Chain A
Amino acid sequence: MSGVWIVVAVVGIATVAFKAAGPVVIGRRELPPRIKSLVELLAPVMLIALVVTQTFGGDQQIEVDARVVGVGAAVVAIALRAHIIVAMAIAALVTALVRLAV
């Protein structure tokens, strides 16, 4: 089994379990407050870590290149409340244009 399919299988099983946790396992009980706040912080933490990696990540180095300009344009679009797809398209387009230019 290739790596991609292992990812699909493991993430799929874990996500099914997470969604079923409340209705099937935990029921009417509450999650312990500390677990709850840990779990709730995981999403923003992972998202920002992904933003940093996708913007500056290189081959074991920090790279400042066309992506920074593209992501910067997306930041402006997001601040102006553009739809998420529009922000993605702007980031891709600006990055591609800068790559063409330099």
Chain B
Amino acid sequence: MATQRAGGPRIRDGVRAALPLAPSPILFGLSYGVLADATGFGSAAAVVMSATTFAGASQFAAVSVLDAGGTVAAAILAAIFLNARYMAISVTVASIFPGGKLRRLVESQAIVDESWALSGRRGSFEWPILVGSGLVFYGLWVGSTAAGTLIGGVLGDPNALGLDAAFAALFLALAVPYLRERRSREAAALAAVITLVLLPFAPAGVPIIAASAACLLGLRR
């Protein structure tokens, strides 16, 4: 096998490692394109966002906050808060990136949850796996977003279709892996309470941003 050769894995091993996981980013990207288009976020904005942000949950969050009537600031904050964890993730792989700052800046964009997980599955993080699989996920993500926006226009009124509930199901499914940890469960429960209490009073988008204060539970020893 190529991975056994001296010099360790190559980029193409990363590409190969990503292929079995291909259906997920394809379906996820399609649904992002559909929802973005159906809710009026816009096809071009959805595709550009997939190409520049390349972090699914935050992109869905931005679309859903705007769709729910939230302000631009609320959409930005919700998405940025969701992606702040990439700071912690990128630190775990900081030492595997070769080359100068510009090259590291470009290649670090291959970091997404899936490429990060694949690159560490043999005990230590491997740069070719991260970059190779990240490239595959990137292409699939941007391409399927574009394809999804083409389908989205065909659908009718998004709320008659129950797409608002689809957003809720999406965010819940994404939250489940975090909830195995007690600290995350407590913080999430507090966030749910803050959101529910504020929903009747605060303008759309504000309860979500206020709920981010629940992460202050992380300051406890």
Contacts and interface: CB of A to CB of B under 8 A. Distances in A.
Interface of A: 3-8, 10-12, 14-16, 18-24, 26-31, 34, 36-62, 66-67, 70-71, 74-75, 77-78, 83-85, 87-96, 99
Contacts of A75: 172
B86 A18 contact: yes
Contact of B91 (A4, A11, A22): A22
Contact of A28 (B94, B191, B215): B94
- 6 residue pairs, one from A and one from B, having the closest CB atoms: A95-B162, A22-B90, A74-B169, A70-B165, A12-B52, A22-B94
Contact of B214 (A40, A45, A90): A45
Contact of B191 (A11, A24, A48, A85): A48
A55 B41 CA distance: 20
A37 B183 contact: yes
Summarize A's interface: helix, strand, loop or mixed: helix
A80 B92 CA distance: 32
Interface in B160-193: 160-176, 178-179, 183-185, 187-192
A34 B58 CA distance: 23
Given A8-B52, A50-B208, A60 B172 contact: no
A44 B172 CA distance: 9
A91 B162 contact: yes
Given A15-B55, A45-B214, A85-B31, A62 B199 contact: yes
Interface string B49-79: 1001111011101101110110110011011
A40 B129 CA distance: 24
A38 B219 contact: yes
Given A12-B52, A57-B199, A46 B61 contact: yes
Nearest to A54: B168
B64 A18 contact: no
A14 to B, nearest CB: 5
Contact of B188 (A45, A62, A78): A45
B151 interface: no
B123 interface: no
Contacts of A60: 199-204
